[in-house]
Amino acid sequence: MVDIVQARSFIVLADCHIHPAQGIDWPRAALDSFDGADLFVTLGDMGERAGLDALARLAPVIGVRGRDDEDDPRTAPRLRVLEAAGLRLGCVFDPIEADVALQVDPLVCASSQTLESLFGSQLDALLWASTHTPSLERAVGRLHINPGSVTLPSKGAPASFARLIVANGGIEAEIVYFQRP
C-alpha cells in the first residue's frame, strides 16, 4: 500500500520513547524547531500515543511501528511507502529485522530486488531508525536517512531529527541538531 501525501515539508522522528509519567516528554526546543512542518513521519519507538497526539496538534502524523509503541492506526504498519510529488519514500523501524538491510553501521541495504519486493517498487529515499544515531547518506541513487533521537540519543550522539523538503522532483534532507535542556 502506498500513502499519497500532499506534504512538502516533513519532520522525521524516531526512537523518542515518549513516556510523560516517566519524565520523558517532548523538549520545548524540539517542538519549537518543528514549526512549519506539513507532516510528521515517525519511524517507531515513539512510546505512548500521547507523544503522537502532541505532534498531531502541530501537523498530521503518519509512520511505522517500533517495539515501544502503543497501538495506533497512524503508525500500525511495519513497512510504509509515502509518495510525495511523484517521489517514493520507504519507512521502516528496524531495517535488519524487516530484511531491508544487512547491517546498520553503516547501513548496507539488501539487494534492489529485495527492496522492490518489500516496498512494492523502487525507492527515492529510505527512512529508517532503531539506532538512536543520526545518519544521512546517498547510496545507489537513494537517500538513506536515520533521524536519530530527539529525547534519547545514543551515547555520544547529539539530540536530532531529520527535515525533508520534497519539491522540483527532488528531496532536500538535513539532520537538525539541537541542545537538550
> Domains along the chain?
7-167 (3.60.21.10)
Average pLDDT over residues 2-28: 94
Q: Quick check: 114 pLDDT over 70?
A: yes
Q: Quick check: 105 pLDDT over 90?
A: no
Look at residue 20 in the predicted model and tell me its pLDDT.
93
Tell me the per-residue pLDDT of 17-41, one tens digit each, with 9 for 90 and over: 999 999 999 999 999 999 899 999 9
Averaged pLDDT of the chain: 95
Q: Quick check: 179 pLDDT over 90?
A: no
**Residue 96 cell numbers, joined:** 535488519
pTM of the model as a whole: 0.96
Average pLDDT over residues 52-68: 97
